[in-house]
């Protein structure tokens, strides 16, 4: 079902990270995708080699660490990402794709399986308990939606936690906002989320002054600011 979410994949380049023994990979190949799969675990390579034989010319397996590879260079053309992300690197990879220097990015959509708790953080709104840095980074120049929940019984062996699939598509970025600046602001603001913004943002030059200029009370906390508030602060800081 995850392979169907990005739409028609026939002949399209797809990046998959952490394919494991290739359950999702098989579904992507069946859908006609040209899959580049990045896998670190040597034990999974024989199963992927079998898939390569079953779908000649459709699968390229890259052995290595997805965090250390340049995905744009690896793909060399617009691509979609479909992955059941490894738990330990999922958030780091996601924020890296969201922080792409060029925008719109080379990836045209991200269809990713996360723990349900992480997925809810990505699509959450300000003022809710799940809202934080991940939501701001996912929503300031992309549309992010929770596409479906996946019950633990869908896996063998079943994990202790529920999963969910998030679908993200890029849209036009707000003018004059630097991704790096926004990352710095959100890291500071949500890194000390129980503190008032005047305290949490004092390490970011110009941030507290920007709050006052926009008309945001510096005594507020990070989770009360919406995505547009954060982009306004970033725009003023430059």
Q: Same structural domain for residues 183 and 164?
A: no
Q: Are residues 39 and 135 located together in one domain of the fold?
A: yes
pLDDT in tens, 183-206: 999 999 999 989 999 999 999 999
Q: What is the mean pLDDT of residues 107-123?
A: 97
Task: Based on the fold, state whether residues 162 and 184 are members of the same structural domain.
Answer: no
120 shares its domain with 185: no
Task: List the CATH number of the domain containing 110.
Answer: 3.40.50.150
Distances (CA, A) of 56 to 4, 8, 60, 101: 21, 20, 10, 34
pLDDT at 155 > cutoff 70: no
Are 158 and 232 part of one and the same domain?
no
Measured CA to CA, the distance from residue 142 to residue 28 in angstroms comes to: 24
Check whether residue 89 and residue 28 sit in a common domain: yes
Provide the domain limits for residue 133. Answer: 2-170
CA-based nearest residue to 113, from 138, 149, 68, 76: 149
Q: Say whether both 155 and 198 belong to one domain.
A: no
Evaluate if residue 156 carries a pLDDT over 70.
Answer: no
The pLDDT of residue 224 is 97
8 with 32, same domain? yes
Least Cα distance to 35 among 93, 86, 80 occurs for 80
pLDDT of 51-110, one tens digit each? 999 999 999 999 999 999 999 999 999 999 999 998 889 999 999 999 998 999 999 999
| Structural domain count of the chain | 2
Q: In this structure, what CATH number is given to the domain that contains residue 206?
A: 1.10.8.100
pLDDT, position 163:
93
Query: Among the three residues 123, 145, 170, which one is the final residue of a domain in this structure?
Result: 170
Q: Are residues 36 and 136 in the same domain?
A: yes
**Hey, how many other C-beta atoms are within 10 angstroms of the C-beta on 52?**
20
Residues 13-66 have pLDDT tens digits of: 999 999 999 999 999 999 999 999 999 999 999 999 999 999 999 999 999 999
Pair 15, 128 in one domain: yes
In three-state secondary structure terms, 145 is strand
Cα–Cα distance for residue pair 10/106, rounded to 1 Å:
18
Q: What pLDDT does residue 55 have?
A: 98
Average pLDDT over residues 149-166: 81
- The confidence band for 151, taking pLDDT boundaries of 50, 70 and 90, is confident
pLDDT at 33: 99
Do 75 and 146 belong together in one domain? yes
Q: Is the peptide bond before 214 cis (omega within 30 degrees of 0)?
A: no
**Alpha-carbon span 35 to 83, nearest angstrom:** 11
Give the residue from 170, 191, 210 where a domain finishes. Answer: 170
User: 62 and 124 share a domain?
Assistant: yes
Helix (H/G/I), strand (E/B), else coil: 62? strand
Domain boundary among 141, 170, 199: 170
Q: Length of the chain, please?
A: 238
């Amino acid at each position: 079902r995850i392979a169907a979410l990005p739409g028609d994949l026939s002949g399209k380049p797809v990046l998959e990270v952490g394919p494991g023994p290739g359950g999702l990979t098989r579904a992507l190949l069946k859908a006609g995708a040209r899959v580049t799969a990045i896998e670190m675990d040597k034990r999974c390579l024989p199963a992927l080699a079998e898939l390569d034989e079953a779908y000649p010319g459709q699968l390229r397996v890259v052995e290595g660490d997805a965090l250390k590879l340049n995905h744009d260079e690896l793909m060399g053309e617009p691509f979609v990402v479909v992955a059941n992300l490894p738990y330990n690197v999922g958030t780091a990879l996601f924020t890296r794709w969201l922080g792409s220097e060029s925008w719109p990015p080379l990836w045209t959509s991200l269809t990713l399986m996360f723990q349900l708790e992480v997925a809810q953080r990505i699509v959450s709104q300000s003022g809710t308990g799940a809202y934080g840095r991940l939501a701001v980074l996912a929503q300031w120049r992309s549309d992010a939606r929770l596409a479906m929940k996946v019950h633990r019984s869908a896996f063998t062996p079943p994990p202790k936690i529920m999963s969910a699939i998030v679908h993200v598509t890029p849209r036009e970025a707000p003018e004059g906002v630097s991704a790096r600046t926004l990352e710095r602001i959100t890291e500071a603001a949500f890194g000390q989320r129980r503190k008032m913004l005047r305290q949490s943002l004092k390490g970011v030059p110009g941030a507290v002054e920007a709050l006052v200029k926009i008309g945001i009370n510096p005594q507020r906390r990070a989770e009360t600011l919406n995505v547009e508030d954060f982009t306004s602060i970033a725009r003023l800081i430059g």
